[in-house]
Amino acid sequence: MKLLRHVGGKFELALAPEEKGLLLYLLNLYPLVPASYHRLTKDKKLPQREENQQLLDEALAAQREQNKKAILTFVNEPGRFTEADGASTVACTRGELEWLLQVVNDVRVGSWLAMGSPGYETKKKVRPDKDALRHAMFMELAGAFEMFFLGIVNGDVTPENEE
Amino acid sequence: MSATAFPEVLPGIKPDHQTGSASEHEAGYVVICWDDPVNLMHYVTHVFQVVFGWERKRAEKHMLEVHHDGKSVLTRESLEKAEFYVHQLQKYTLNATLERAGK
């Protein structure tokens, strides 16, 4: 993965065919975090707790639907990916990269949850079966894409072709 | 949290000087981010910068509190505003809740 240039408010990224395939695969996994994962509060006596939890659930569900639509658009939009010299080029705005970060991190956290949340409160170990290995791989891949996108939005990655 | 390097700056983000003070808002709720072993430190810092408009240093301070102390109180607000911030943080899949202040 490379940042080719930053021009006209868009970041132009180059992905090898395998990287593009992996990114699209991860995007198609979205959403992986169960709808019931997020809790508004730990306080069981919070006034109107249930109503407010429901409002949060609805807001997050609407967000998930919006993200799913945006993924379909991103993946299928004509001209979004251009192929040349054995690599794919894709142009993204800062806002799109922010959105990609949210989506890819959902896949990362969802994969971790699917493995049984290893390292969190319970000391249980991950069973090294096929499913766990698959989710471990998704989690690591999502992390790699996250670091790449973060590097771009934070200005840590220098474009190869400055204009 | 998983360890990563820190970003130097986050361009294009305006600092929000309104967060963090109870007296400014008559606020009875705190927004807390809880530690987990999956969200990358670099990512958590970024999300704090985006959601609260904080400069990197302040975002990092809170991220390190989460990492070392298990949680960080990010802001103290009215219920409505605290709910807004919890939603924003959870949109990014951070482990955030609101609690009554002083608990």
Contact A56 B12 (CB under 8 A): no
Domains of chain A, residue spans: 2-37+76-162
pLDDT digit string, tens, across residues A60-85? 999 999 999 999 999 999 989 999 88
Contact A40 B37 (CB under 8 A): no
> What pLDDT score does B4 carry?
44
CA dist., res. B53 & res. B40, Å (int)? 19
Pick A43's closest partner by Cβ from B87, B92, B99. Answer: B99
- ipTM entry: 0.92
CA dist., res. A135 & res. A138, Å (int)? 5
For the entire predicted model, the pTM comes to: 0.87
Q: A106 contacts in B (CB within 8 Å)?
A: 93
> What pLDDT score does A159 carry?
87
A vs B: CB pairs below 8 A: 87
pLDDT digit string, tens, across residues A130-157? 999 999 999 999 999 999 999 999 998 8
pLDDT digit string, tens, across residues B5-31? 333 334 344 444 445 444 334 679 999
